[in-house]
Structure 1
């Protein structure tokens, strides 16, 4: 037997150290080639570290939350073969797999480890249900995770029969056949006292989000502006376009219309499409409109970037927004796709509430927040009619943007949305 030492790989772009976010294995586990060993967090994204070998884990090089230098020992694996110590960098890291609860992920084929020498855990299935720790992440492909989500199954309760205990589609079916799709620990009495506590370490993506939000609120002089918008006409246009072109070009949501409205409004308000370097005291206004679209994933808020929105049609924007959102939720967005925005659009969809106060995505100076659409009675030309109404809750950096300019900018967006034909008049 020999020992294969895997070192923290060079993730690129001059990164000298990364944060170890989560282990997917423990000492004593049997692993197979390409199995995900750990998640690490860079300044931009979470990435997976896969195993290059088959073997048994004999040592872990760090604890979750620890910052590790590139080239430091990540994990040691016992392998069959020569007894000489082998050292290597881990294979090129890949984007982290989709968290179990992430929605709207396209199904992909089940992947199988390549055959190779070394110990391989034998597939076992001693029953469809197994108890795992609440924070233990079962080994499964994105397709299986999506299937479990659709079926309402807690993946951690399902015994995996694949290599290294990987949960397969067949395991989900076996679990359902036992009538345990809703199995859970017995509920406590409704009025029983509780004295339990849970401490959650702030690491990985959550720590990066916390640092960025704290930095933004400390450095920028935030102020918010809220305006009510009648979206009846643009919703009618959207429904018409979807009925006519939805099958051939794809369905449109409201977001690509808002992206288009940003592009047109920024022609008259270039100071909003800017970055502020407060250390150098320099404001950089950009001609290119790179729209960050805030996207919630199971590991936290991510902001993939629709580049050159000024050159995209409605359907092009819609396709790019969908692609980036899926990549972010799937943990597959690259560092380039998560950086370089010039203005950000944030929306909580149907949960958008009435008003919000979004935090700036520094070094940007403006963020436009979308609230939910509600039907309300409104007075139009002296008549009470039912209209679809929505608020825009937007925030600005008062060090760069004056209040009057912010109000005029949002009013310009309002005019474009309420008269949607003006979005396309050149």
Structure 2
């Protein structure tokens, strides 16, 4: 038997070290060629490390959360053959995103589970009486009112009066008999808890934490909030979906927002920029690569809609949908998660009234979308119901002046409130 030592491969992009995020094997496991051994985290994406050989795992080179240098020993595998030690780097790794993940069983179970009815208010229940659901028990109006106040279904109470009439005493007996059943869950609901859970911050969660901390410490954040009447753009969206949805796909509001960014940036190129604060250089870009913040099971990702300036509404919509699905399913590649020039973030229907989004460094602007609500507004002296939405946007004050930020968002507002101007060249 021999030993095959696999070293941390050179993932490229000048990366000298990576974080070991998760082991998929343990000592003693038998592995086959191309089986995924571990996940490692680079600055941009999760990467799978496959096995180049068949054999048995005899040693692991690190623990989850440990930062390992390229070329360090990752894993040792016992293989058939001569007794000498062979070394190699793992085969060219693939982004974890590109692997076909196992079907999310837990999620499927949730989706297939019938919706539960709202929990009724707690009541004390004694032994039930078998009555038909539509059978009206005999009781005086005063007893019925008493049962309603106590949260008792009268048809479940055994009546001791003439012809089975339910009396006040029967309600009290029902409550007394039900106390032993009701006291335990009530006591448990108000019991003190002393349990604790410690969660190690590693992998994607650590990268997110580092990026957010770095952004808030390095950039001079300031936020600007503007209210926008989206009634007209929503009417246009509904019309286009009715006319072309079946053949071209449904449009959400996001592709309209991407289009508004593209048009507004023509007059505000300083927003479509990256700031290298170490070199003290601002790079303004002609291409508009829009990052779309997307929540996934492993945390927040920002896939990039490249060259948004050259895309139609439906092209943008299809690309946003594809990238969001890839990010949520763990299939987004490193290239798809890097290179944005400005970011769009939205929580959809949960977007709240106002937010203060954190910049996606080295970008200098991020536009946050809040939820759409119907509100009474005064239009030409008349009170009418309009669909209103806030844009909560943040900027790097080292690069962007407050007046320019306000004018930029006002430009987006004008484009969305007069949607025909989105398509006037």
**TM bucket, shorter chain:** 0.7 to 0.9
Q: Structure 1 residue 144: deviation in Å?
A: 56
Tell whether the 8 Å contact from 2:376 to 2:386 is kept in structure 1 after alignment.
yes
3-state DSSP of counterpart to 2:78: strand
TM-score, with length taken from structure 1: 0.77
Q: Structure 1 residue 402: deviation in Å?
A: 1.3
Task: State the Cα deviation string for residues 292-344 of structure 1 (Å, max 9, x = none).
Answer: 11111222111111111111111111111122222222223222222221111
Tell whether the 8 Å contact from 1:98 to 1:329 is kept in structure 2 after alignment.
no
Tell whether the 8 Å contact from 1:206 to 1:299 is kept in structure 2 after alignment.
yes
Greater Cα shift, 322-331 or 145-154: 145-154
Q: Unaligned 5+ residue runs, structure 2?
A: none
User: In the superposition, relative to structure 1, how do residues 185 and 263 fare at CA in structure 2: closer, same or farther (>3 Å)?
Assistant: farther
- Distance (Å, rounded) in 1 between the aligned partners of 2:90 and 2:114: 16
Task: State the Cα deviation string for residues 139-179 of structure 1 (Å, max 9, x = none).
Answer: 99999999999999999999999999999999999999999
- Distance (Å, rounded) in 2 between the aligned partners of 1:35 and 1:129: 58
Task: State the Cα deviation string for residues 327-371 of structure 1 (Å, max 9, x = none).
Answer: 222223222222221111111112111110001111111110011
3-state DSSP of counterpart to 1:44: coil
3-state DSSP of counterpart to 1:113: coil
User: In the superposition, relative to structure 1, how do residues 107 and 97 fare at CA in structure 2: closer, same or farther (>3 Å)?
Assistant: farther
3-state DSSP of counterpart to 2:43: coil
Q: Structure 1 residue 32: deviation in Å?
A: 3.4
Tell whether the 8 Å contact from 1:55 to 1:118 is kept in structure 2 after alignment.
no
3-state DSSP of counterpart to 2:211: helix
Q: Structure 1 residue 264: deviation in Å?
A: 0.4
Cα RMSD between the aligned structures? 16.3
Equivalent in the alignment of 1:24 = 24
- Distance (Å, rounded) in 1 between the aligned partners of 2:106 and 2:349: 19
Q: What is the aligned length?
A: 424
- Distance (Å, rounded) in 1 between the aligned partners of 2:173 and 2:52: 31
Greater Cα shift, 332-341 or 250-259: 332-341
Task: State the Cα deviation string for residues 7-59 of structure 1 (Å, max 9, x = none).
Answer: 21111112121110111222223333333221100111111112233333221
- Distance (Å, rounded) in 2 between the aligned partners of 1:206 and 1:142: 61
User: In the superposition, relative to structure 1, how do residues 125 and 187 fare at CA in structure 2: closer, same or farther (>3 Å)?
Assistant: closer
User: In the superposition, relative to structure 1, how do residues 91 and 143 fare at CA in structure 2: closer, same or farther (>3 Å)?
Assistant: farther
User: In the superposition, relative to structure 1, how do residues 108 and 117 fare at CA in structure 2: closer, same or farther (>3 Å)?
Assistant: closer
Q: Structure 1 residue 4: deviation in Å?
A: 2.8
Q: Which has the larger radius of gyration?
A: 2
Q: Structure 1 residue 220: deviation in Å?
A: 1.2
User: In the superposition, relative to structure 1, how do residues 151 and 198 fare at CA in structure 2: closer, same or farther (>3 Å)?
Assistant: farther
Q: Structure 1 residue 399: deviation in Å?
A: 1.4
- Distance (Å, rounded) in 2 between the aligned partners of 1:119 and 1:390: 36
**Large movers: runs of 4+ above 6 Å:** 97-120, 123-188
Greater Cα shift, 52-61 or 293-302: 52-61
Equivalent in the alignment of 2:209 = 210
Please say if 1:38 is aligned against 2:8.
no
Alignment of structure 1 residues 155-304 onto 2, 5 Å: 189-304=188-303
Task: State the Cα deviation string for residues 182-217 of structure 1 (Å, max 9, x = none).
Answer: 999999932222111111222211121111111111
Tell whether the 8 Å contact from 2:59 to 2:75 is kept in structure 1 after alignment.
yes
User: In the superposition, relative to structure 1, how do residues 172 and 78 fare at CA in structure 2: closer, same or farther (>3 Å)?
Assistant: farther
- Distance (Å, rounded) in 2 between the aligned partners of 1:164 and 1:60: 79
User: In the superposition, relative to structure 1, how do residues 184 and 282 fare at CA in structure 2: closer, same or farther (>3 Å)?
Assistant: farther
User: In the superposition, relative to structure 1, how do residues 77 and 278 fare at CA in structure 2: closer, same or farther (>3 Å)?
Assistant: same
Tell whether the 8 Å contact from 2:220 to 2:396 is kept in structure 1 after alignment.
yes
User: In the superposition, relative to structure 1, how do residues 119 and 380 fare at CA in structure 2: closer, same or farther (>3 Å)?
Assistant: closer
User: In the superposition, relative to structure 1, how do residues 114 and 294 fare at CA in structure 2: closer, same or farther (>3 Å)?
Assistant: closer
User: In the superposition, relative to structure 1, how do residues 146 and 197 fare at CA in structure 2: closer, same or farther (>3 Å)?
Assistant: farther
Q: Unaligned 5+ residue runs, structure 1?
A: none
Tell whether the 8 Å contact from 2:98 to 2:332 is kept in structure 1 after alignment.
no
Greater Cα shift, 100-109 or 255-264: 100-109
- Distance (Å, rounded) in 2 between the aligned partners of 1:309 and 1:127: 66
Tell whether the 8 Å contact from 2:98 to 2:333 is kept in structure 1 after alignment.
no
